[in-house]
């Protein structure tokens, strides 16, 4: 297999030499550059397969170097590897079509695995944010109830979703939300597990901080709310359009303390964005891939 030609650009000599040797031991052909000017000259002479670029350098810094690289090579994959980069640096790098932004310190074996993974995709893949629509779960994946049905219907639906298999035994954790529609198939809102639990608190407890608690209150409340119509406690609540930036949806979920968020397209509710999917996306973006077993 042909060796990957890598250009490592960093003005810290000790880091540059040590990391370069470590990458060579892992099968890369490594060129070293101690400045942005030197890196641009090397790229003009013989473009590598990928560039690993530090941000904070004397003279031409990493961003200026990246701008010059893009004038010469618009398609050349560039990884920013830095111990000093902040949000603005990451945003500029994304706009200049880097393939990744990694923080020092990073394990060299993990860095090597990440570089191979980036180049094995077969085509240049820049660092891009996934959309709200890509992350959402289709509405069809959720249980549906009617607004004019009683609360006990929702409780039964949630129980069946959360406790599957043998009665009383958790076999698989299901969804904690059902979708409420009216008889015209118009979306009314989400009813979440926490909404049901909140309904189990009698109104006088919510209204007065001086109320007393005693055994039997919980049982009594479960007996008197079961016939209440679902539509009486559900409102449309916060939602987003499928085209909004992911940060807008995330901010709304954090602000409103939501575990999930309805997503609309053309006036129709088409999916649900869940906190667990956002967490997975955080992990995918933040955690460097582990090196392959048996790597040199």
Q: Residue 19: its pLDDT value, please? A: 93
Domains of the chain are 5-128 (3.40.50.2300), 134-281 (3.10.580.10)
Sign of the alpha-carbon dihedral angle for 97, 103, 104, 109: negative
pTM: 0.77
pLDDT for 295:
39
Number of Cβ within 10 Å of residue 132's Cβ equals: 22
Band of the pLDDT at 174, cuts 50, 70, 90? Answer: low
pLDDT tens profile 272-283: 999 999 999 998
Percent of the chain residues past pLDDT 70, beyond the cut: 91
The token duo for 97 is 């079509």
**More confident of the two residues 56 and 275:** 275
Do 62 and 52 touch, CB atoms closer than 8 A? no
Q: Are 61 and 92 in contact (CB under 8 A)?
A: no
For 238-251, the pLDDT digits (tens) are 999 999 999 999 99
Distance in angstroms (rounded) separating the CA atoms of residues 76 and 48: 8
pLDDT at position 128 is 86
Q: How confident is the model at residue 167 (pLDDT cuts 50, 70, 90)?
A: low
Q: What six digits make up the tokens of 258?
A: 């939501």
* Token couple for 9: 């650009």
pLDDT at residue 292, rounded to an integer: 47
- Express each pLDDT in 16-36 by its tens digit: 999 999 999 999 999 999 999
Token pair 């990458």 is found at: 23
Q: Write out pLDDT tens, residues 197-207.
A: 999 998 888 78
d(CA 213, CA 231): 29
191 vs 158: CA distance, rounded Å: 10
pLDDT for 88 equals 87
3-state secondary structure of 177: strand
Q: What is the pLDDT of residues 127-142, one digit of tens each?
A: 888 999 999 999 999 9
Give the separation between CA 271 and CA 186, rounded to whole angstroms.
14
Binning pLDDT at 50, 70 and 90, where does residue 121 land? low
Q: Which of 21-35, 37-51, 171-185, 188-202 has the lowest mean pLDDT?
A: 171-185
Question: What mean pLDDT value characterizes the chain?
Answer: 87
Say if CB 99 and CB 116 are below 8 A apart.
Answer: no
**Confidence band of 161 (pLDDT split at 50, 70, 90):** confident
β-pairing, 144-146 with 177-181? parallel
pLDDT at 291 exceeding the cut of 60: no
pLDDT at 31: 94
Residue pair 52/12 in contact (Cβ under 8 Å)? The answer is no
């Amino acid at each position: 297999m042909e060796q990957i030609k890598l250009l490592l650009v960093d003005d810290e000599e000790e880091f540059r030499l040590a990391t370069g040797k470590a990458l060579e031991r892992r099968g890369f052909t490594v060129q070293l550059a101690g400045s942005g000017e030197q890196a641009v000259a090397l790229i003009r002479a013989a473009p590598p397969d990928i560039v690993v670029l530090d941000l904070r350098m004397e003279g031409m810094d990493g961003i200026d170097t990246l701008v010059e690289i893009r004038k010469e090579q618009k398609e050349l994959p560039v990884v920013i590897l830095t111990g000093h980069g902040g949000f603005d640096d990451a945003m500029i790098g994304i706009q200049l079509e880097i393939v990744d932004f990694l923080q020092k310190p990073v394990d060299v074996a993990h860095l090597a695995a990440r570089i191979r993974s980036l180049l094995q995709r077969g085509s240049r893949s820049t660092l891009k944010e996934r959309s709200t629509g890509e992350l959402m779960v289709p509405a069809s994946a959720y249980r549906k109830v009617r607004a004019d049905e009683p609360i006990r219907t929702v409780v039964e639906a949630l129980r069946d979703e959360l406790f599957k298999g043998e009665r009383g035994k958790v076999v698989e954790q299901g969804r904690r939300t059902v979708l409420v529609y009216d008889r015209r198939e118009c979306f009314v809102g989400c009813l979440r597990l926490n909404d049901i639990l909140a309904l189990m608190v009698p109104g006088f407890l919510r209204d007065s901080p001086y109320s007393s608690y005693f055994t039997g209150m919980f049982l009594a409340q479960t007996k008197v709310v079961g016939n209440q119509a679902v539509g009486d406690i559900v409102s449309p609540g916060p939602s987003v359009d499928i085209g909004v930036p992911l940060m807008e949806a995330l901010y709304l979920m954090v602000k409103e303390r939501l575990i999930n968020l309805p997503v609309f397209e053309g006036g129709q509710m088409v999916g649900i964005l869940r906190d667990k999917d956002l967490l997975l996306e955080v992990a995918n973006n933040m955690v460097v891939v582990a090196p392959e077993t048996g790597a040199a």
